[in-house]
Amino acid sequence: MNLKLYAVKNASYKQPHERIQLVVVDLDKSRRYPLNFVCVLPQYFRILERRSSKFAKLFGTKSLPVARNLLVDADHQEEDPEIKTVIKKRIKEIDAKQTCTETTQV
């Protein structure tokens, strides 16, 4: 699978950052969205821990590292400042989560 993140802006939300949805696409399926849709990247990463999202079911215990890699890749390619802000926030959340996990395991 050749996975990438695709940002979808929904104009119906009142909060600027809540209207951006990041979806995972597989470029091996098709080059155009929505034909290459795989799943939505969960907004809250605690959902990944409970395995209650399609993303978590697909990637299992590798969910956080896969999500982080997709976000870092998207951050390098994205030009929209609003989307970049959302991406950077999610990267920080994952890093904080992984740091907490590593600290409790030591």
Give the model confidence (pLDDT) of 56-76 as tens digits. Answer: 889 888 988 999 999 999 999
Higher per-residue pLDDT: 96 or 50 = 96
**Which tokens in the block code for residue 20?**
């951006």
Position 31 scores a pLDDT of 84
Position 96 scores a pLDDT of 87
Residue 62's domain comprises: 3-105
Burial zone of 67 (CB within 10 Å; 0-12 exposed, 13-18 middle, 19+ buried): buried
Tell me the whole-structure pTM to 2 decimals: 0.82
Per-residue pLDDT tens digits for 9-54: 876 656 655 688 899 999 999 988 889 999 999 887 776 666 778 9
Say how many domains are in the chain.
1
Rounded Cα distance, 73 and 69, in Å: 6
Q: Quick check: 79 pLDDT over 80? A: yes
Q: What value does the CA radius of gyration of the chain take, rounded to a whole number of Å?
A: 14
Q: How would DSSP label each residue in 48-93?
A: HHHT-SHHHHHHGGGHHHHHHHHHHHHHHH---HHHHHHHHHHHHH
